[in-house]
Structure 1
Amino acid sequence: MAGTTASDTTILDVNQALYDALSGYIDVNPDTGVSIIFDLPAADSPPTEPTLSVFLYEIHEDLQMRTAQMRVPTYHADTKTSTIAPGWVNVCCNYIITYWDIAQTATSSPGSPGGAPDNTSIKVMNQVVNALINNRQLADMPGAYTRMIPPKDELNTLGNFWQALGNKPRLSLSLSVTVPVFLTDASDSAPAVQSTEVDMSQQQTGRF
């Protein structure tokens, strides 16, 4: 039986790059800070610590970008051989980002109650915004870029989204990340061109 084909890990790398960008602005100290998870808290199991949820809910090919590259042959002069290099396709990863305080409430730290203009939820989401707009290009991921977008229809309205989680609506942010996902390298080769020949002739045309 043939082994499985290795998959491109770009989408997994996006999660790590987002974590690095967010943790640069948010205190993620395990004892006093905010936990960043790439999932949604369970409706019947409220977070026991302040939690930032970065939930990937949709992946699709970005058909609006025309910069994808199909597989193309590459000539190697030293060995006089050609290989067919893998191309890449732009893939769009859509996230919804929310902050969940302890016991799914909007309460904040002492001196900054949940109803205050500078409550913890607003502070954390402000840090999220700053992290994202200052990391349009994700670190160590050439061709990957982020943008904040309006809520998408795929969520079937945010009201239904929150109702499904059994929780009241809260401040959320929709994020779209476009990344180039490389096609599988099948190690195909093409015969090298050994010589070229051009035959040219001149034709005379008469005047009328």
Structure 2
Amino acid sequence: MFQDLDATLAALIASELSLPNVAVSFATPDDQFPPSGVSLPAVDLFLYDVQENLELRRAEWIVEQHDDGAASRRRPPVHVNCSYLVTAWPSDSSPNPSQDEHRLLGEVMKVLLRHSRLPDNMLQGELAGQEPPLRAKVLRESHLQSLGEFWQAMGGKPKPTLHYTVTISVDISTPEELGVVVSEKVTTLGPMAR
């Protein structure tokens, strides 16, 4: 499902980014970036944190009635926050790489800010038709303890970043058949015995 989220984000950025010929990558933004197959300029969305969204946790079962009168139940999906570190990588031939990097990051930020939820027509694979709709948050607080330590661990120089989080639903259960639903109760009373 992470690959479906990556494909959804790549489609969204490719369709709305105002700058031409920008690659979208999901590689680790280390000192070896860009990996082979990714040409610059590029925007990189590095999935760095995955956590359950406890605010959306539901304990009650979901009961579904079928046309034949039977019913099944299943556990509710688990809502998961997928947090990305978004960076921009200008072309190697750029005369002003810092300016180009900032322009690219700003244009990507505009695309992401337009959508507090991911558009239905962009959803790929398992994400299509998810309920509730996939919520997105841009410019939120990082889950990284220290951005400086992150860049040091990556072996690269610090870069301007955006923090972007999408909440997806993960279906973890198989429906459990309950049988036929009782929809009425009939009580028959007979004569009273003396």
Classify the TM-score, shorter chain: 0.7 to 0.9
Distance 1:146 1:97 in 2: 14
Determine which structure has the larger helix proportion and give its number: 2
Counterpart of 2:114, as a letter, is N
Please name the residue that 2:169 is paired with: 180
Q: Return 5+ residue gaps in structure 1 as ranges.
A: 1-8, 200-208
Residues 26-41 of structure 1: pairs in structure 2 closer than 5 A: 26=17, 33-41=21-29
Please name the residue that 1:114 is paired with: 97
Shift of 1:87: 2.3
Distance 1:93 1:17 in 2: 13
Distance 2:19 2:87 in 1: 15
Distance 2:64 2:24 in 1: 42
Shift of 1:92: 0.6
Aligned-pair identity (%):
24
Q: SS of 1:179's equivalent?
A: strand
Of 81, 93, 101, the match for 1:92:
81
Q: Are residue 62 (structure 1) and residue 53 (structure 2) matched?
A: yes
Q: SS of 2:11's equivalent?
A: helix
* Larger Rg, first or second structure (1 or 2): 1
CA 1:63–1:149: 2 relative to 1, 3 Å? farther
Q: Are residue 71 (structure 1) and residue 61 (structure 2) matched?
A: yes
Aligned residues: 173
Q: Are residue 83 (structure 1) and residue 72 (structure 2) matched?
A: yes
Q: Are residue 145 (structure 1) and residue 135 (structure 2) matched?
A: yes
Q: TM-score, normalised by structure 1?
A: 0.71
Deviation string for 1:72-92 (max 9, x for gaps)?
22222x412112245212111
Q: SS of 2:83's equivalent?
A: strand
Please name the residue that 1:155 is paired with: 144
CA RMSD, Structure 1 to Structure 2 (Å): 2.7
Q: SS of 2:118's equivalent?
A: coil
Shift of 1:147: 0.8
Q: Return 5+ residue gaps in structure 2 as ranges.
A: 121-127, 189-194
Shift of 1:188: 1.8
